[in-house]
Amino acid sequence: MEWLITVAVIIAVVLILAVSNISVVQQSRAYVIERLGAFHEVWGVGLHIKLPFLDRIARRVSLKEQVLDYPPQPVITKDNVTMQIDTVVYFQITDPKLYCYGVEQPMMAMETLTATTLRNIIGDLELDQTLTSRDIINTKMRVILDEATDPWGIKVNRVELKNILPPQDIQNSMEKQMKAERDRRQAILQAEGQKKSAILIAEGEKESAILRADAEKQAAILKAEAEKEAKILKADGEAQAIRMVQQALADSLEMLNEKAPNEQVVKLKAIEAMEKVADGKATKIIIPSQMQGLVGLANGLVEGVQDAQ
């Protein structure tokens, strides 16, 4: 009976040891395993079993990108201005073995290295360069830190200067300088606006004068052409009127020439009739007054014929 209890205890101990030495490594994590105090291997993602009393997990390492936000560090620029700068470092562990055995307290080592590198870089720059060269400072720090932490199994991805805080008197001077610069730019912009406005007004007046002169020129040309056409029409009308008068006179003369002989013939016939009457037995002949005019007209026609001959 006792041996059954002993066997059961042994089995329970074996099961407990087996279960306690089974480990599951999660995604983006790695375990550094030591055997008898020396580095043995690095466990990746999955199920792993270690030997009891021989193997141990020396360090559990996260392979995700991590962020270190350091407090403000006092730094001195090249022109002896003391300012406070806080830095943010983005890094990632790429080699768990080097991270575990490369340096003691890697996070503290990175913080000290970051502060030292920042002081060295800012010490070569003046205040204005420091305020306007953040990208350059970030790049330099990332390159230096990445190279220095490579033996520690750490990859520095980015370095950012979070805040740059100059002394209060420097900030006041900078604000006054910026205000003066904004006033200067405002004055320049206002002057340029007035200049452009004056130029536009002058160009508008010039174009207006040109258009006005062209309009007057066109009006004068149109007026002259209208007067010319009026005179031409008037002359044509007068010439046409003269031609019509001449034609009317010619037609009148022709009608007179055609009509006059007929009337003269009639009048001559009347005179001949009067002569026949006179040859009769009547002792008195009364000649109407119209006949007297006809006799005069007949005498005129005779004289006209003789003159024509």
> What is the model's pLDDT at position 145?
93
More confident of the two residues 20 and 148 = 148
Assign 62 a pLDDT band (cuts: 50, 70, 90). Answer: very high
pLDDT of residue 302: 43
For domain 65-166, which CATH number applies: 3.30.1230.10, 1.20.1070.10, 3.30.479.30, 3.40.50.300?
3.30.479.30
User: What pLDDT does 156 receive?
Assistant: 93
**Burial classification of residue 131, based on how many CB atoms lie within 10 Å of its CB (0-12 exposed, 13-18 middle, 19 or more buried):** middle
Which amino acid is it at 11? I
Confidence (pLDDT) at 223: 86
Query: pTM of whole model > 0.85?
Result: no
* Closest to 47 (Cα-Cα) out of 18, 27, 23: 23
pLDDT value of position 304: 46
- Going from N- to C-terminal start, the domains of the chain cover 2-62, 65-166
Mean pLDDT taken over the chain: 80
pLDDT above 50 (res 1): yes
Two tokens, residue 11: 């089995």
Stretch 121-128: mean pLDDT, rounded?
87
User: What spatial distance separates the first Cα and last Cα of the chain, rounded to whole Å?
Assistant: 197
Whole-angstrom distance, CA of residue 270 vs CA of residue 294:
8
Q: Is 153 exposed, middle or buried (0-12, 13-18, 19+ CB in 10 A)?
A: buried
For range 206-233, the mean pLDDT: 86
More reliable by pLDDT, 241 or 134: 134
- Structure confidence at residue 52 (pLDDT): 83
Residue 159 near residue 88, CB atoms below 8 Å: yes
